[in-house]
Structure 1
Amino acid sequence: MKKTISYLVLSSNLLFGVTIKSIDFDGLEQISPTVAQNISGLKIGDNLTGLSTDRAITNLFNQGYFSDAYIAEKNGHVTIHVKEKPIIAKVDLQGVVSNDFEIIKNITNLKPGQTFDKLSLKNAKDRVKQYYEAKGYFDTVVEIEESPLNENKNALHLTVIVNRGEIITIKKVNLVGADKLKYKHIEPAVANKQREKLGWMWGFNNGKLKTVDLPNDPARIKDEYYKKGYLDANVSSPFLNTYMSNYTAELTYYVEEGSQYKVSDVSIEAPGFLNLDTTNIIKKFKLGSGDRFSSKWLRNDMEKLENMIADMGYAYVDINPALSQNKETLEVAIKYIVVPHEEIFVRNVTISGNEKTSDKVIRREMYLTEGEKYNRTDLRDSQNALRRTGYFDNVEVTETKISDKEIDLNIAVEEAPTGSITGGIGYGSGDGLLLSASVSDRNLFGSGIRGSVSIEKSDDKLSGSIGFTNPRLYDSIYSLSGSIYARDWEWDDYKEKAYGFNATLGRQIGRYTNIYLTYELEKSRISGLDEFYAAAGYQNGENIKSSLIPAIRFNNTDDYYIPRSGIIAGLSVEYTGLGGDMDYIKTLGDFKWFFSLRDYVDYDLIFRYKANVGYISNDKTLPVNKKQFLGGMRSIRGYDGRSIPRNQICLDGKGCKYIETGGKKSFNNSLELSFPLIDRINMRFVTFFDYGIVGDSDWDEHERYSAGAGIEWRTPMGPLQLFWVKPLNKEPYDSTNSFEFTIGATF
């Protein structure tokens, strides 16, 4: 800062003070004299003294607009001479890739109209270097060129030139002193990993140095020891030996492992008013007396205990684990000290993000509302119930403490595109090319009512339907749905035409369970059956089915699209013979179990088990189209739809032929593992094994199984499934395929 006072002119005046008669400015271009005078604090009529002069110049410099200023006075006429800092008129970036352009532009904090100074430039350079270092690039060079845009040089064009540095690759991670755990054991936990041989390929470690995470990696390694029971383990700070000649590095940690501990005793210390049955609670814990200590299971048990207390209304509770180590016996006693805060009641429940869905549709899924005592299980069940509706891509609940006894809940939803006009294309087992078109909405006008109109065409099928479902009739626990449909199917050996309608009344009987009663009336016609089918007992002609179907369904999964926990199970019994000319009982059951393995492998791996069973009894006249079949995307992949079972029928003089006879009993199940492929676009990779049996008199008259892998992807057109399949025990007469996919809505 340069403050200059013309003492040659002012020395005698400033000693006694002089009355200011006028104030003028010299050098102002961008700031008006009125604004500059206000900043200085000098006013006409005031006394001008050495103190007021110094204060005026200080005020001017503090604004950051000026690089120089001094005051001259003659006979009360004051002239303030200033030199303004230049203004940044234009900023350009060079050497920045498109993915980083907007980020670098923002972090430089250099903007047109901003006052120029050297400190801003230095800070801009430092921030750019820090950004690239955080991304693993070192030796980044940043230069800023200054070019005046006018003769006065008070408007500058700045060009930020970035020469991005090189990535440091970790060639080796050393654990000096480690014996019990090797690098492969700590590798999943640390952020800085050594490069693998195929590091250039997706899914393999590229060895890129991440300096931001480097200080936290010792704690991650230590926790891996704690998970294995090594409570005395100690890990040094990282030692990074960098070779700038080839931009590689060697990372070293010095480890003291200590010994492994077992749990000697587990106890809970809690206030008496909680009335905890500590003996039974401890039995449910992962860690018990005699078990090897694990910090992972310790945290798991703390969470269980915290949730139990929170279900009593204590939303805020401290669970403090006190560990008493006996270094001689290598045992540790665990005492969970429970410190509950006040009982909490819900004051307000607010909803946000629902631009389409009405508040009442969301509120009717809530098990915790205003005025009720806080309960964490109720809150979690409410969140899962909202996710199961399929109306939302995401549901988050935020708790805001209002006072020691009150809490507000905010339900923030991200609405899914429930309404669509779609066209689907796919390849189905046995169906060949499949085309579909539909107008549907799972959440009509935000009311929660589902409606659809669809048509589907494949090589062998033409079908259409119109349906609706109101899952909460008048916001009650009852539901109502119905549909009308028609289909024209051409199978390998015969043709089937049918049309009909159904109507269903449902009722909730718990948080996860619904019961239904359906009436269905259908008229169908079968043609084209040859003498081989006649020999098997099947006839051409028309049939009318009038049936009543009671059903029960259970669903406690945590999401509509990609469940990671919970069960979906259902059972239905179809009674025909209420008029019409069909008389049989068909029992169908299905079961799906979803289980996240994240707690065990620290990865978003999902295990799925799916099973279906069918049984037909009391059949007097059962056309072939009502029998049980397997094969296709929904049962045993790799075998054409409805192609299992096939039986050989032989006729005198006609030879023998395999025909699709169906069965009265069937069972199929699948084991699947699903893990993320590209998270940001909801793409996952799936491996599976399918197995099924079907028969008439015995369940296992026909047995088939297959294995494969594929991709599941939530696209804007709808869920896509693409599989590569290997039938494992196909017979020569089986119709099989090795590739199939579906996309879009299929009804």
Structure 2
Amino acid sequence: MLQRFSTILFLFIISILTLNGQTSTPEISYSGTPRSYTIAGIEVVGDLNNDPQILANLSGLRVGQQITVPGDDITNAIKKYWDYGLFSDVKISAAKIEGRQIWLEIYLQERPRLSEINYTGLRRSEIDAVNDRVAMMRGSQVTPYLVDRAQRFIKSHFVERGFYNTEVSIVQRDDTARVNHVILDVHVDKKERVKVNSLTFEGNEEFTDNRLNRIMKKTNQRRRLRNFFRTKRFIEENYRNDLRAIIEKYNERGYRDAYIVEESVTRADENTVDINIKIEEGDQYYFGNITWIGNTIYPGEYLGHVLRIQKGDIFNQTRLDERLFIDDDAVHNLYMNNGYLFSRIIPVDIRIENDTVDLEMRIFEGDQATINNVIIRGNTKTHEHVIRRELRTKPGELFNKALLIRTVRELAQLGHFDPEKIQPIPLPDPDKGTVDLEYNLEEKANDQIELSGGWGAGMFVGSLGLRFTNFSVRNFFNGEAWRPLPTGDGQTLSLRAQTNGRYYQAYSVSFMEPWLGGSKPNSLSVSLHRSIQTGVSSRYNMFNMYGRQQDPFALRGDDSRHFKTFGISVGLGRRLTWPDDYFVLYNELSYQHYDMKEWHFLMSNGRANNIKFRSVLSRRSIDNPLYTRSGSDFSLGLEFTPPYSWFSDKDYSTVTNQQELYRFIEYHKWSFKGSMFKTLDNANKLVIMPRIEAGFLGYYNKHRRSPLEQYTMGGDGMAMNFSYYGSENVGLRGYENNSLTAFSIIPDETQSSGFRQVANANIYNKMTLEMRYPLTLQPSATVYGLVFAEAGNSWAEFTDYNPFQLYRSAGVGLRIFLPMFGLLGIDWGYGFDQNPYNPNANGSNFHFVMGQNF
């Protein structure tokens, strides 16, 4: 059985190689009187790498067969061996003849096999690319055809990349270590890339030469300042695409008859070409009357209003196609969003008179299509109910294209699947009037581990964090589900620890269930945190109101001074249906306990309690959480404590005991954050992102202002500098951490000056503008670069607030999202404005990003 399988496998391989093998055969001649014999035996001899029995079967001859010698049987057998292209010599002779029986001996000299390929003149990455294209594997037989094919493929590979003068030579030499094996030495001389020396146009009046050059994005003339950041290489495929882009641009301007009369590419020298393009623009056309026929669902006047093209507009085929089929609110989508999957719209030119084109929109509405089955494929880890509860397209409902697109967005927001690979495929059945929807998903690793270090308050801080974003509580006690953790239900479990040893420790754990009860998208969040901070701030140098340094508030090494916190919170989130279902209302009740001894907040000693309620109304409609191209993200938040001072007739202006004053902290805190995303290019890669945010910490009684919950501004915005623990960190790149935080002067008899300066920023605002461009959007890593400009400031008092008195910065950055580690990044920012209280904080600054984004 094994020998039969080997024979079949070898014959299959040989049949494939035959297609590319040697087709020429030698001239065969013989003489003598033909006689009939019966084959008694067949023996294959020679230096063989294959089973002789398999090679004998290739001849078509078999024991017991009657043949004529000399005759066609032997001739055909020899031809078969040559046709396979695997042998350099073939001979068939009679080893023995007895009566009418003949014993045949087949001599075969197999072509050599490939031992290895050596490349010279190429980089490692180029060798990998060439190997993939040539596809010559070790152990395969080396034929003249395959060598010639490899040479052609290598040359064409580099020609496609602009190396038109590439020379390739392949030398075959024997491998002395292995019998009948050879080594191929491939030398590639790419020469220089061919570039565009000159680019000229003729016949163009509507567009200038410079404008046409900008339209040709991939074919640009060298030695021109305007093309400094553009490619000057000449690549045939890109050049042809640019020619089509020129005609498309003319069509958009109404020149429907524009065409390339003549174009020439001539060599200026060995490494450059001259390009001349002659254009016939023709006449400019305009839209005339647009009529609708076949429409029974929507009146023609309404369809014309949706089309948004008026009589007399310049005829633009691209815009016509967009308004009919492509835009979200296109005419055809009216039908597609109402179940008319089988509808069609055919625009027909019914009359062209002078420069005016009359159109007739022929509509075939068809019947409405009902969703029959929804098929989900590719979810190897995530349970199907987690996916199905996010679907906006369900069996029995009418087909709706808008809901299909929305479903793709919701699945991307889960974070469990590669957003670039989510593919919904409609499978219509016109006879039944139904459609099956198939969602093809590709799982991606999204659990994250954080193992990091940072510098803050004059010392090193290490962090260890674990975030499981597809956790399953219901399988917690199921031993078979631990691989290595129970997953699949879309719940989030986060564990984090941060410490530098004796001076600082922080621990937190949180859990979030996105569908509490499983029937509605109402989320439940629970979190606990604990931190202990002792005397650490040897670097905390204060400045008085005149900018002169005071005695440092040095705490290093004094464990008796401390700032301890404990907190617990419970939150409920609810997806709203009005104004639309992108809105989410999140409410949270939390308790925090603070224990301070000789600390540098408004409250230096004592214990404080914070019972607060937080409500956030947000609208998030972004398309992709990793690399967002469209949509927006807005939130309006209010956080407040009970107004304890309203229920007391005590005069707090006379209270000096901090413990009595701050036993229960009271405040109200308002916040707003908004971001928008929009692509700027046709490839939907270059993204612009404006963002604005602001916050205000208010009080019920001016004598009982909160000693905590203020803002700190400047730097990376991460809570690594824990000298200001108990406040909200706001990043502003280009400045040192916390260097833009507003300060207040308060009396302090322990200081030689009689007062001290403490961080007390109660209001801030910040504006950001970013442009992003992706480097790779693969499931293994999402990488994009960015440039940014920012401005912001913080103030202690509302009376000091000036929205135009901002600290400005600009810079560049890089973001890398790795499934295992989450978001990582680095920014270089330059702060343009000097802070008089921190004169060295601006200028050139590097910032590291981990687990967050600006």
The TM-score bracket by the shorter chain reads: 0.7 to 0.9
SS of residue in 1 equivalent to 2:422: strand
Alignment match of 1:610 (pick from 680, 692, 702): 692
Check conservation: 1:194, 1:205, Cα contact below 8 A. Answer: yes
Task: Select between 443-452 and 610-619 the one with higher mean Cα deviation.
Answer: 610-619
Q: 1:475 to 1:612 in 2, by over 3 A?
A: farther
Separation in 2, partners of 1:266, 1:527? 80
Could you tell me which residue of structure 1 aligns to residue 495 of structure 2?
453
Alignment match of 2:584 (pick from 490, 505, 514): 514
Could you tell me which residue of structure 2 aligns to residue 32 of structure 1?
52
Task: Select between 299-308 and 44-53 the one with higher mean Cα deviation.
Answer: 44-53
Q: 1:289 to 1:23 in 2, by over 3 A?
A: same
1:704 is aligned to 2:809: no
Check conservation: 2:160, 2:237, Cα contact below 8 A. Answer: yes
Check conservation: 1:286, 1:297, Cα contact below 8 A. Answer: no
Could you tell me which residue of structure 2 aligns to residue 676 of structure 1?
773
SS of residue in 2 equivalent to 1:682: strand
CA deviations 1:491-518 (Å, max 9, x no partner) are 8779854322111122222442222321
Taking only aligned residues, the RMSD between alpha carbons, in angstroms, comes to 4.1
Alignment match of 1:481 (pick from 525, 531, 534): 525
TM-score (norm 2): 0.74
Task: Select between 551-560 and 627-636 the one with higher mean Cα deviation.
Answer: 627-636
> Which amino acid letter does the alignment assign opposite residue 742 of structure 1?
F
Separation in 1, partners of 2:110, 2:507? 75
Cα drift, residue 411 of structure 1? 2.8
Could you tell me which residue of structure 2 aligns to residue 283 of structure 1?
305
Alignment match of 2:144 (pick from 115, 118, 121): 118
SS of residue in 1 equivalent to 2:59: helix
Task: Select between 446-455 and 46-55 the one with higher mean Cα deviation.
Answer: 46-55
Separation in 2, partners of 1:381, 1:413? 18
Cα drift, residue 241 of structure 1? 0.9
1:468 is aligned to 2:573: no
Q: 1:115 to 1:741 in 2, by over 3 A?
A: closer
Cα drift, residue 481 of structure 1? 1.0
Q: 1:604 to 1:230 in 2, by over 3 A?
A: same
Q: 1:392 to 1:69 in 2, by over 3 A?
A: closer
1:376 is aligned to 2:473: no
Separation in 2, partners of 1:299, 1:369? 30
Separation in 2, partners of 1:431, 1:678? 36
Separation in 2, partners of 1:8, 1:464? 99
Q: 1:461 to 1:253 in 2, by over 3 A?
A: farther
Could you tell me which residue of structure 2 aligns to residue 215 of structure 1?
240
Separation in 2, partners of 1:543, 1:198? 68
Count of matched residue positions in the alignment of Structure 1 and Structure 2: 726
Could you tell me which residue of structure 2 aligns to residue 299 of structure 1?
321
> Which amino acid letter does the alignment assign opposite residue 575 of structure 2?
Q
Check conservation: 2:733, 2:847, Cα contact below 8 A. Answer: no
Could you tell me which residue of structure 1 aligns to residue 133 of structure 2?
107
> Which amino acid letter does the alignment assign opposite residue 808 of structure 2?
S
SS of residue in 2 equivalent to 1:610: strand
CA deviations 1:536-577 (Å, max 9, x no partner) are xx7864332222333322211112233222222223333422
Q: Gapped runs of 5+ residues in structure 1?
A: none
> Which amino acid letter does the alignment assign opposite residue 592 of structure 1?
S
Separation in 2, partners of 1:542, 1:41? 100
> Which amino acid letter does the alignment assign opposite residue 204 of structure 2?
A
Separation in 2, partners of 1:516, 1:26? 82
> Which amino acid letter does the alignment assign opposite residue 401 of structure 1?
L
Q: 1:425 to 1:84 in 2, by over 3 A?
A: same
Separation in 2, partners of 1:338, 1:314? 11
Check conservation: 2:699, 2:705, Cα contact below 8 A. Answer: no
> Which amino acid letter does the alignment assign opposite residue 761 of structure 2?
G
Cα drift, residue 219 of structure 1? 1.0
Q: 1:153 to 1:697 in 2, by over 3 A?
A: closer
Separation in 2, partners of 1:684, 1:130? 32
Could you tell me which residue of structure 1 aligns to residue 761 of structure 2?
662
TM-score (norm 1): 0.84
Separation in 1, partners of 2:203, 2:849? 54
Alignment match of 2:678 (pick from 566, 578, 595): 595
Cα drift, residue 724 of structure 1? 0.8
Cα drift, residue 218 of structure 1? 1.5
Separation in 1, partners of 2:604, 2:42? 112
Could you tell me which residue of structure 1 aligns to residue 611 of structure 2?
546
> Which amino acid letter does the alignment assign opposite residue 616 of structure 2?
A
Cα drift, residue 365 of structure 1? 1.9
Map 1:84-99 to 2 at 5 A: 84-95=109-120, 96-99=122-125
1:423 is aligned to 2:452: yes
How many percent identity over aligned positions? 16
> Which amino acid letter does the alignment assign opposite residue 518 of structure 2?
D
Q: 1:46 to 1:267 in 2, by over 3 A?
A: same
Separation in 1, partners of 2:541, 2:417? 42
Alignment match of 2:705 (pick from 617, 622, 625): 622
SS of residue in 2 equivalent to 1:361: helix
Map 1:404-419 to 2 at 5 A: 404=430, 405-419=434-448
Could you tell me which residue of structure 2 aligns to residue 171 of structure 1?
197
Cα drift, residue 224 of structure 1? 2.1
Could you tell me which residue of structure 1 aligns to residue 412 of structure 2?
387
Cα drift, residue 338 of structure 1? 4.1
Separation in 2, partners of 1:87, 1:24? 24
Check conservation: 1:591, 1:612, Cα contact below 8 A. Answer: no
> Which amino acid letter does the alignment assign opposite residue 491 of structure 2?
I
Could you tell me which residue of structure 1 aligns to residue 17 of structure 2?
none
Separation in 1, partners of 2:840, 2:213? 46
Separation in 2, partners of 1:462, 1:492? 23
> Which amino acid letter does the alignment assign opposite residue 423 of structure 1?
S
- The structure richer in strand per residue is 1
CA deviations 1:553-607 (Å, max 9, x no partner) are 22111122332222222233334228773444333333222222235x9751223
Cα drift, residue 278 of structure 1? 4.7
> Which amino acid letter does the alignment assign opposite residue 253 of structure 2?
K
Separation in 2, partners of 1:25, 1:369? 69
Check conservation: 2:599, 2:605, Cα contact below 8 A. Answer: yes
Check conservation: 1:456, 1:746, Cα contact below 8 A. Answer: no
CA deviations 1:116-150 (Å, max 9, x no partner) are 43223222222221112112212333333333458
Cα drift, residue 114 of structure 1? 3.7
CA deviations 1:606-665 (Å, max 9, x no partner) are 2322323436353462223244665554365456538444457799996998654433xx
Q: 1:279 to 1:689 in 2, by over 3 A?
A: farther
SS of residue in 2 equivalent to 1:127: helix
Map 1:315-326 to 2 at 5 A: 315=341, 318-323=344-349, 326=352
Separation in 2, partners of 1:627, 1:279? 57
Q: 1:232 to 1:151 in 2, by over 3 A?
A: closer
SS of residue in 1 equivalent to 2:624: coil
1:440 is aligned to 2:467: yes
Separation in 1, partners of 2:361, 2:598? 74
Alignment match of 2:276 (pick from 252, 256, 263): 252
> Which amino acid letter does the alignment assign opposite residue 275 of structure 2?
L
1:503 is aligned to 2:606: no
Could you tell me which residue of structure 1 aligns to residue 556 of structure 2?
none
Check conservation: 1:526, 1:540, Cα contact below 8 A. Answer: yes
Cα drift, residue 257 of structure 1? 2.3
Q: 1:181 to 1:80 in 2, by over 3 A?
A: farther
Could you tell me which residue of structure 1 aligns to residue 829 of structure 2?
724
Task: Select between 339-348 and 395-404 the one with higher mean Cα deviation.
Answer: 339-348
Cα drift, residue 168 of structure 1? 0.8
Check conservation: 2:673, 2:691, Cα contact below 8 A. Answer: no
